[in-house]
Amino acid sequence: MSDIKIKITDREGVSHEVDAPTDMNMNLMEVVRSYELAPEGTIGICGGMAMCASCQCYILSDHQLPEKSDDEEAMLAEAFFVKDNSRLGCQLHITEDLDGLEVELAPEEA
Ligand code: FES
Whether the pLDDT of residue 63 is over 90: the answer is: yes
Ligand 1 atom closest to the Cα of residue 75 is 3
Q: How far is the CA of 56 from the centre of ligand 1 (A)?
A: 7
User: Helices in the chain by DSSP H: which ranges?
Assistant: 28-34, 70-78
What gap in Å lies between CA 39 and CA 26, rounded to an integer? 19
Q: What is the mean pLDDT of residues 15-24?
A: 97
Total Cβ atoms within 10 A of residue 69: 12
Whether the pLDDT of residue 26 is over 80: the answer is: yes
The dihedral formed by the CA atoms of 91, 51, 54 and 109, expressed in degrees to the nearest 10 = 150
Whether the pLDDT of residue 58 is over 70: the answer is: yes
Across the chain, the runs of DSSP E, i.e. the strands, are 3-9, 15-21, 56-59, 86-88, 101-105
Pocket of ligand 1 (CB under 6 A): 29, 44-46, 48-55, 75, 88, 90
Split at pLDDT 50, 70, 90, the class of 110 is low
Which amino acid, 13? G
Q: How far is the CA of 30 from the centre of ligand 1 (A)?
A: 10
Total Cβ atoms within 10 A of residue 53: 22
Q: What pLDDT score was predicted for residue 83? A: 98
Split at pLDDT 50, 70, 90, the class of 70 is very high
Q: What pLDDT score was predicted for residue 109? A: 80
| Model pTM above 0.85 | yes
Ligand 1, pocket-test mutation among 26, 33, 52, 71, most atoms within 8 A of CB: 52
What gap in Å lies between CA 44 and CA 46, rounded to an integer? 6
Q: How far is the CA of 46 from the centre of ligand 1 (A)?
A: 5
